[in-house]
Amino acid sequence: SQQGEEDPQALSIQEGENATMNCSYKTSINNLQWYRQNSGRGLVHLILIRSNEREKHSGRLRVTLDTSKKSSSLLITASRAADTASYFCATADSYNTDKLIFGTGTRLQVFP
Amino acid sequence: DGGITQSPKYLFRKEGQNVTLSCEQNLNHDAMYWYRQDPGQGLRLIYYSQIVNDFQKGDIAEGYSVSREKKESFPLTVTSAQKNPTAFYLCASSIGIAGDYNEQFFGPGTRLTVL
C-alpha cells in the first residue's frame, strides 16, 4: 500500500493550545493536501501545498512540507472545541496525479 | 447552491442483493471518485472517472461497478460479490486531475449496512 501515515493517531488538548500533526508519505509528489472530517460527515479541503513550497498559511492553519524527508506537518494554533475532528493528509504522485493517496488520519479532540 | 450530493444517507441491504448509491454534482467538475471508509480508517479508492464515459479501477474495485453516462452523475453499485460491504461510502469530485485542480470536494456520505 502507498498509503501515508499520520502521527499521532490521536491527540487530546485543551482549548487555546496548539495542535501539531504529522504526515509521512512514500513517493515523489506533485502536491500534498490536508482535509478535515467531522464524525460521520464528508471530508472538507483545508489547504494544498505544492512540492516546490515549504510553508503555507491559512488563518489558524500552518502547513510545512519537507520533500527530502517526505513529510508534512499541520499546525492548528489557538485551538477551539469546534476543531475537534479527524485530519487527513493526501498526496498526489508526481507522475500520476489522477488520484490522491490518503493517510490514516489523526483524531483531534479539543476540550473546552 | 453548488455542491455534491449523495443519497441515501443510510442504506440497509440484505445479503445477496445489489444496491446502487447515488452521487450527483453541479460543480461542473470533470473528475469524480468513490471511496470506502471503514471505522477508524482512512479512505480507500474504489473507482474514479476523469471524463464522461470513462472510468478506472482504484485499489479495491472488486465487487463494485460504476457508470459515468453524464458529467453530473457517478453512481456506484455494490454487488453481491462484495464480501464485506458494510462501510461508509464517500463520493468526491474535482475540477480535473492535473496539478492544483485535483483538490477534491466531498459529498456527505452514505452509510451502508448489510443485514
Written as tens digits, the pLDDT of chain A (112 aa) is 445 788 899 999 999 999 999 999 998 999 999 999 999 999 999 999 999 999 999 999 999 999 999 999 999 999 999 999 999 999 988 887 788 999 989 999 999 9
Q: How many residues does chain A have?
A: 112
Please report the pLDDT score of residue B2 as a whole number: 63
At B1, the pLDDT band (50, 70, 90 cuts) reads: low
- Phi then psi for residue A81, to 5 deg, are -55, -30
Most confident of A91-105, B67-81, B98-112: B67-81
B46 pLDDT exceeds 50? Answer: yes
Closest by CA position to A72, among listed A101, A102, A34: A34
Q: Which residues in B have their CB inside 8 Å of a CB on A?
A: 31, 33, 35, 41-43, 45, 48, 50, 56, 58-59, 88, 90, 92, 97-100, 102-109, 111
B22 pLDDT exceeds 50? Answer: yes
Determine the residue of chain A that is closest to B57 in CA distance. Answer: A99
Nearest to B98 among A33, A97, A102 (CB): A97
B72 vs B43: CA distance, rounded Å: 22
Look-up of cell digits 471508509:
B37
Look-up of cell digits 493517510:
A103
Determine the residue of chain B that is closest to A94 in CA distance. Answer: B99
B100 pLDDT exceeds 80? Answer: no
DSSP per residue, B7-22: E-SEEEE-TT--EEEE
Q: Is the peptide bond before A8 cis (omega within 30 degrees of 0)?
A: yes
Please report the pLDDT score of residue A1 as a whole number: 42
> In A28-59, which positions are buried (b, 16+ CB within 10 angstroms) versus exposed (e)?
ebbbbbbbbbeeebbbebbbbbeeeeeebeee
Residues facing residue A31 across a β-bridge: A50, A92
Please report the pLDDT score of residue A2 as a whole number: 47
Question: Count of H helices and E strands in chain B?
Answer: 0, 11
Q: Coil, strand, or helix at residue A84?
A: coil
B19 vs B73: CA distance, rounded Å: 16
Determine the residue of chain A that is closest to B49 in CA distance. Answer: A98
Q: Which residue type, as a one-letter code, is found at position A58? A: S
Please report the pLDDT score of residue B59 as a whole number: 92
B106 vs A98: CA distance, rounded Å: 16
Q: Are A111 and A14 in contact (CB under 8 A)?
A: yes
Neighbour order of strands in the sheet with A61-66:
A5-7, A19-24, A71-76, A61-66, A55-58
At B98, the pLDDT band (50, 70, 90 cuts) reads: confident
Across chain B, mean pLDDT equals: 93
CB contact under 8 A, B31 and A33: no
